[in-house]
Amino acid sequence: MSTVLQYLKHAARRARYAAPIKGQDGANLLRLQKSGRVVYGPHTYGIPKVMTYHYGTERAIFGSYSSIGGTYLLGGQHGVDRVTTYPHRINWGMEGAGTDGFPNSGPDTHVGSDAWTAENSLMMSGITIGDGAIIAAGAVVTKDVPPYAIFGGNPAKLIRYRFDEDQIAALLEIAWWNWSDEEVREAVPLLAERDVDAFIERARANAAPRTPTAG
């Protein structure tokens, strides 16, 4: 199959996947992407429910090749160390609305590359989900998730790691999601297999410096 035909077929598939971006969640996602509140890396897909609040600038930043579902809360945190958790100044139109810690703003939410957050999961504002991590369906994520960890439950806790420590370190060093599209395409036969060590070996061999040939 010619390279041009492969590209056209790939573009058609991407168009089909992009077509479902409609409805309330889809329209909200597009609006937040245009405003910079939601940032998708290359080839990341999915239509999560993203909840934002009028007073707040927190963003959700996603890496590359991630599969995104669930709900993301950006800001809107209520202070638990105050006499009340009620946002009087906002709801009553008082001076100082949005600047008194009601709601309590925080850091951006980050999701790494090659991560998967399943449907009906809930990500609290300000958390970081590492590269290669998986969030199980129905999980409520209240703290950072390490790379290649599988988290589930309410509150979400570590179930297990996808690979051993050496394999995880190697995958993070290789960072295949930063490769060119053509390099990723060539690696798909290994990326889609269970033999992690074979992929690591091939990636390292391809990255190794070549010894100049005598001229």
Q: Which residues are catalytic?
A: 88
What's the CA gap between 77 and 56, in Å, rounded?
10
Closest CA to 63 of 212, 172, 161, 166: 172
Measured CA distances, 14 to 7, 17, 31 (Å): 11, 5, 20
DSSP symbols for 43-108: T-B---EEE--SS----EEE-SS-EE-SEEE-S-BPPSSSS----HHHHTT-TTTTSSSSSB--PP
Q: Helix 196-207 vs helix 181-191: angle between axes, to the nearest 10 degrees?
A: 150
